[in-house]
């Protein structure tokens, strides 16, 4: 059949050149080959892009949402909805692989990847050694921190467990704005004081929404009270140009595709 030849050509194209040059609907079509084996899936791929707007949005949709597109059944919807969570889980499971977050861009990119695709608010503490290498990510809360009264102890326990010199906080705002709330500012102050007491530096608190992020340290939103002697010298984040966190103006950082 004609569509069988088309599938073969698409697979050969992928095997020879990867996904370079593939349009979003072609990537979806390639995926759908394995969920719907006996049907021309090109129209379905186009329909999904038309419905959700992008490949990213399709892979972030729930099975119920996907099944609202005519022709997408339970198996195909389940398969597509698995891909995003599997990729995120794989990213978080890189045991023993440390990532150096010695500049602002690296820290922001790391937080965006960590929180990618999350539909509800998630709060993480990224533990760092003295060279700004990641030691581990601790999930502190799902939903608002107000739902987890013991969150300061959980952050402190994570830092002590990893013998961390520094902690990078990050959480997402699924609603779309990266501007910190008063609750975000209060929680950051609380954690800064607590971590200082156990001689751990609060490096930054980064708020993420999609591909946009805000660094609270860079925008002067972390009150740098008295810190343990030598702690700031041990761990500090530059902005990639050798400048320390400074300024009061809210500065949104948008990550480009080639960052």
Contact 188, 217 (CB under 8 A): no
Residues 156 and 48 placed together within one structural domain of the fold: no
The answer, as to whether pTM is greater than 0.75, is: no
**Judgement on whether residues 242 and 131 belong to the same structural domain of the protein:** yes
Q: How many alpha carbons lie under 13 Å from residue 63 in its C-beta half-sphere?
A: 9
| Domain termination site, one of 91, 122, 147 | 91
Could you give the C-alpha distances from 59 to 52, 76, 82, 86, 115, in angstroms and in order? 9, 12, 8, 11, 15
Residue 137: its H or E element: strand 134-142
Structural domain for 149, as ranges:
97-254
- What are the pLDDT tens digits along the chain (259 aa)? 566 788 889 999 999 888 888 999 999 999 999 999 888 999 999 999 999 999 988 988 889 999 999 999 999 999 999 988 887 777 666 555 788 898 899 999 999 988 887 888 899 999 999 999 999 899 898 877 666 667 889 999 999 999 999 999 999 998 778 999 898 999 999 999 999 999 999 999 999 998 899 999 989 888 755 443 433 333 444 444 433 333 323 333 332 333 3
- The CATH number assigned to the domain holding 236 equals 3.40.140.10
Alpha-carbon span 62 to 80, nearest angstrom: 9
**Same-domain status, 73 and 201:** no
Structural domain includes residue 232 = yes
Same domain for 149 and 74? Answer: no
In a domain, 259, yes or no: no
């Amino acid at each position: 059949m004609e569509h069988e030849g088309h599938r073969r050509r698409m697979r050969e194209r992928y095997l020879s050149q990867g996904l370079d040059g593939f349009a979003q609907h072609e990537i979806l079509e390639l995926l759908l080959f394995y969920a719907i084996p006996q049907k021309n899936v090109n129209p379905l791929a186009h329909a999904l892009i038309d419905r959700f707007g992008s490949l990213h949005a399709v892979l972030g949709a729930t099975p119920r949402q996907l099944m609202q597109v005519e022709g997408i059944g339970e198996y195909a919807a389940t398969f597509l909805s698995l891909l995003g969570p599997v990729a995120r889980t794989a990213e978080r499971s890189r045991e023993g692989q440390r990532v150096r977050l010695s500049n602002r861009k690296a820290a922001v990119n790391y937080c965006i990847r960590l929180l990618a695709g999350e539909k509800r608010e998630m709060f993480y503490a990224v533990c760092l050694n003295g060279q700004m290498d990641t030691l581990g990510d601790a999930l502190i809360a799902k939903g608002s921190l107000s739902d987890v009264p013991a969150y300061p102890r959980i952050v402190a326990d994570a830092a002590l467990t990893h013998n961390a010199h520094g902690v990078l906080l990050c959480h997402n705002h699924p609603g779309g704005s990266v501007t910190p709330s008063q609750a975000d500012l209060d929680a950051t102050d609380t954690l800064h004081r607590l971590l200082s007491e156990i001689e751990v530096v609060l490096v930054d608190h980064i708020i993420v929404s999609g591909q946009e992020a805000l660094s609270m340290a860079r925008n002067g939103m972390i009150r740098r009270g008295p810190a343990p002697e030598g702690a700031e010298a041990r761990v500090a984040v530059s902005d990639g140009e050798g400048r320390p966190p400074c300024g009061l103006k809210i500065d949104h950082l948008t990550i480009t595709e080639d960052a």
